[in-house]
Amino acid sequence: MTLDVRLLGPLEVRVDGRPASFPRGNATTILALLLDDAGRVIPMSGLVAGVYGDDFPLDPEAQIQNTVGVLRRQLGTARDRIETVGRAYRFRIDTAELDTLRCKAKEAQARALRREGDSDAAAEVLREALAEWRGPALADLPGRAAGAIGRRLDEYRLTLLEQRIDADIDAGRAPAAVEELRQVLAVHDSRQRLVGLLMRALHACGRTAEALDAYAALKERLADALGADPNRELVDLHTAILRDQPAEPAPPEPVEAVAAAVPAMLPRTTRRFTGRENEIRALDAFLIDAGSEAGLAAVTGMGGVGKTALAVSWAHRVAHRFPDGQLYFNLRGFDPTAPGARPEDVLREALAALGVPAARLPAGLDERAGLYRTILVQRRVLIVLDNARDAAHVRPLLTTAPGSFTIVTSRDRLTGLDMSEGAEVVHLGLLSEADSQALLARRLGPQRAADDRAAVDRIAAACGRLPLALTLVGSWSAADPALTLNSLADRLASTGNLLNVLASSDHASDPRAVFDSSYQLLSERDALAFCLFGLHPGPSLTPAALASLMGAPLAEARAALAALAEINLINRFPGGRYGVHGLMRDYAAECFVDEVLDVERRAAAIRMLEHYLFAAHRADRRAVHRFDQSRLDPGAPAPGVFVELVMDPATWFSAEHAVLAGLLRVEAGFGTDLRVWQLGWILAERAIDAPDELLAVQTAALAAAERRGDAFEQAVSLGYLAIAHHGRGDTAAALDCAERSAGCAEHDGRTWARGFADYASAVACGRDREARTLRARLASLPVDPRMP
């Protein structure tokens, strides 16, 4: 059985001399993807991304498997050429059976002939390679994946054409080359390699003035279109022609030396890498979309979320697509142990990896960047720029080389790269519950994890699904098999500060050190805003709430939140709210204690309570079914409190429900007991039909009232506790609280307090009709001037 497969023109497949037909659409797209990487394993995720992009159907992998089955049937006796390799596929084919492979073999043969000095034979071999094209590559296939492959293959044709013309000039056929080059440049007038060949050919024909004119015209076109200058190779050629030196190709250093340097700098990846299927699909799609252009993607997210692991793992998966090598640089933009890498130093390493001798290394940043881009322009290289500080940190390191791809990771959101460089951005969030459990299982061992699934779930939840924390806990547990998973889960759940449990001597693995490296870069305003997240009970707050916490104008709070979100110290949620990861909140609480003065902490706590108290009071006054809280006069707010105008009380209370519950647990030492009790009184009626919630609210309110020693406040809270216990079916506790409420009311002597204690007693005793009567009477009582 023989195959004859052709991509360089309309797609053609012949099996034993007979054409094989395939359904147009997904089938031909998959076939093109497999043939483009013939002989290499293509992961399922790569095929899914190539076929569907971001708009994939339900169970896309099953669709791919079905389509591969169709391809195999159509291949007939050659069906076994599509091999299944785990969750991936490979198209097995010999060089002589595929036109693209024949071209690459002939290109290698031509290079060998050039090295031996036989330019005439090299040109002939390259003509044979170019003859493989029967028109635009894959021009008959629809879809962006096939289009990207076709554009790259046609770009490769131009590269072969340049090599063939170069060989022809060396072989003494400069006059014919001049005419051919003018025709090609009519279409590709800014391609510097072609202009250089035209200059060489003209100079070899004695037409030096025309050669210089060609350079001047190109320089003008580049300046107008790109604001750029000709590359170093072309400048050197121009200088040689001006000096009337032989217009030879550029000297072997650095370009020829670089041609032999194929860097492989990717760091080691780990087989324990888990999940991130959607993000991998997105990166695969970005790579396919880039086609023959210079691709650029960014992976952003909070410290410890696994950006480097994703970028490096994905880079290893696609490295085979970049035959000219892979570059990796840790830019140390947020490194707690070292300063950030300077772009000029990174370029020095890059140029050395690409084969540039130290003696030819330019001194300045701009010169190094120019040489770097010049060297890469004819190469397909994968570049990983890890841990960038911001967009400015990486701009000098970006390449415009066709077919190359750069992936950047950063805690910064890199909006500058998105807006000005067209970067495709993947924001990396926390692992899903399933992936968190899978990561732990891979570290602990599948059997151990399966034996205590509930404990694994508890550990994953305690770590907040943050990969760094999960990896640390998994490592400790794996190192100590005698430690039961239940014991480990109990320890994580009971600790007051998980950062203490996760502390590590390795700064790169210690969450506190990782977070600190971001915090240390903040301005004074932004640092204060971040610390205040450690005071706020969470889970999220609004700009108005932060303005009160900071005691600053609303615009300042908005600016601080934007800055913190930009470097992923906090998260931006729908509805204009912001929150932090649980571990980050622990770190913020440490910073709040360590960095904020006692007097400022107390003032911030009071402003926070009053912000929510006054908003809740305003909202509650709009609720017509209230009868007691409308009598509360909270007085004037503290300086700096931003008092919100609540237009929709139901929506506001729903959005702030968790926050309001957390505020009742604010540290007593801040002097907020009165505001805590007042807030509890406002929340009581909203929880009147939810006994468990009412119990929690009024337990906190009673503790605040007892610390204040206020009999009225205790009477009200005890009365509500009686109602809560009655609703929970605990009659003894209800009667006890009602009796204590009556005692406090008698001691206080206020009419309303006595009436409320009677009402609570009626509820606790189950005297519903009496309770309704007493409640109505309370609503009609005049305001007691002694009431707080």
Contacts of 695 (CB under 8 A, 6+ apart): 721, 724, 725, 728
CATH of the domain at 679: 1.25.40
CATH of the domain at 411: 3.40.50.300
**Window from 49-63, 101-115, 236-250, 275-289 with minimum mean pLDDT:** 236-250
End position of a domain, from candidates 596, 611, 628: 596
Two tokens, residue 66: 């079905």
Alpha carbon distances (Å) from 706 to 289, 565, 701, 784: 67, 41, 9, 22
CA 408 – CA 429 distance, rounded (Å): 16
- Considering the domain architecture, whether residues 657 and 737 belong to the same structural domain is answered as yes
Number of domains within the chain: 4
Residue 627 DSSP label: S
End position of a domain, from candidates 577, 596, 615: 596
- Considering the domain architecture, whether residues 580 and 655 belong to the same structural domain is answered as no
- Residue 115 falls within a domain, yes or no? no
- Considering the domain architecture, whether residues 634 and 758 belong to the same structural domain is answered as yes
- Considering the domain architecture, whether residues 726 and 633 belong to the same structural domain is answered as yes
- Considering the domain architecture, whether residues 438 and 416 belong to the same structural domain is answered as no
- Residue 146 falls within a domain, yes or no? no
Residue 725 near residue 685, CB atoms below 8 Å:
no
Instruction: Give the residue from 659, 650, 660 showing the smallest Cα distance to 682.
Output: 660
What is the mean pLDDT of the segment spanning 70-89?
Answer: 90
Return the SS3 of 571.
strand
Q: Tell me, what amino acid is at 527?
A: A
- Considering the domain architecture, whether residues 614 and 716 belong to the same structural domain is answered as yes
List the beta bridge partners of residue 22.
none
Instruction: Give the pLDDT score at 61.
Output: 87
Runs of H (alpha helix) within 131-207:
144-170, 174-185, 192-204
Which residue range forms the structural domain that includes residue 329? 277-427
Q: Is the pLDDT of residue 629 over 60?
A: no
pLDDT band at 254 (very low <50, low <70, confident <90, very high): very low
* Owner of token pair 């299944």: 84
Cα(first)–Cα(last) distance of the chain, in Å?
A: 96
Alpha carbon distances (Å) from 599 to 592, 606, 641, 669, 670: 12, 11, 16, 11, 9
Two tokens, residue 586: 């622990």
- Residue 539 falls within a domain, yes or no? yes
Residue 754 near residue 745, CB atoms below 8 Å:
yes
Residue 697 near residue 687, CB atoms below 8 Å:
yes
- Considering the domain architecture, whether residues 493 and 618 belong to the same structural domain is answered as no
Residue-wise pLDDT tens digits, 525-545: 999 999 999 999 989 999 999
Instruction: Give the pLDDT score at 785.
Output: 46
CA 780 – CA 471 distance, rounded (Å): 62
Residue-wise pLDDT tens digits, 654-713: 999 999 999 998 877 788 899 999 999 989 988 888 999 999 999 999 999 999 999 999
Measured in degrees and rounded to the nearest 5, phi and psi for residue 383 equal: -125, 125
- Residue 162 falls within a domain, yes or no? no
Instruction: Give the residue from 509, 557, 566 showing the smallest Cα distance to 533.
Output: 557
Return the SS3 of 6.
strand
**Window from 89-98, 356-365, 523-532, 734-743 with minimum mean pLDDT:** 356-365
Residue 480: other Cβ atoms inside 10 A: 10
Return the SS3 of 328.
strand
Two tokens, residue 261: 């340097």
- Considering the domain architecture, whether residues 786 and 676 belong to the same structural domain is answered as yes
Instruction: Give the residue from 556, 660, 655, 545 showing the smallest Cα distance to 611.
Output: 545
- Considering the domain architecture, whether residues 616 and 764 belong to the same structural domain is answered as yes
Residue 254 near residue 356, CB atoms below 8 Å:
yes
What is the mean pLDDT of the segment spanning 56-72?
Answer: 88
Residue-wise pLDDT tens digits, 15-24: 999 999 998 8
Instruction: Give the residue from 531, 296, 552 showing the smallest Cα distance to 418.
Output: 296
CA 76 – CA 72 distance, rounded (Å): 7
- Residue 66 falls within a domain, yes or no? no
Instruction: Give the pLDDT score at 446.
Output: 80
Residue-wise pLDDT tens digits, 307-318: 999 999 999 989
pLDDT band at 228 (very low <50, low <70, confident <90, very high): low
Alpha carbon distances (Å) from 271 to 437, 443, 466: 16, 10, 18
Residue 90 near residue 315, CB atoms below 8 Å:
no
Which sign, positive or negative, has the C-alpha torsion 223, 148, 129, 12?
negative
pLDDT band at 784 (very low <50, low <70, confident <90, very high): low
What is the mean pLDDT of the segment spanning 100-119?
Answer: 90
Q: Is the pLDDT of residue 252 over 50?
A: no
CA 190 – CA 683 distance, rounded (Å): 71
CA 409 – CA 333 distance, rounded (Å): 10
- Residue 449 falls within a domain, yes or no? yes
Instruction: Give the pLDDT score at 782.
Output: 59
Two tokens, residue 635: 């007085």
- Considering the domain architecture, whether residues 577 and 606 belong to the same structural domain is answered as no
Instruction: Give the residue from 440, 524, 434 showing the smallest Cα distance to 475.
Output: 440
Percent share of the chain, pLDDT over 70: 95
Q: Which has the higher per-residue pLDDT, 420 or 460?
A: 460
- Residue 39 falls within a domain, yes or no? no
CATH of the domain at 583: 1.10.10.10
Q: Quick check: pTM over 0.75?
A: no
- Considering the domain architecture, whether residues 678 and 784 belong to the same structural domain is answered as yes
Which sign, positive or negative, has the C-alpha torsion 128, 134, 135, 140?
negative
End position of a domain, from candidates 507, 532, 556: 507
- Considering the domain architecture, whether residues 673 and 781 belong to the same structural domain is answered as yes
Which sign, positive or negative, has the C-alpha torsion 548, 551, 553, 555?
negative
- Residue 337 falls within a domain, yes or no? yes
Q: Would you call 111 exposed, middle or buried from its count of C-beta atoms within 10 A (0-12, 13-18, 19+)? A: middle
Residue-wise pLDDT tens digits, 406-423: 999 999 999 888 887 889
Return the SS3 of 173.
coil
Computed over every residue of the chain, the mean pLDDT equals 87
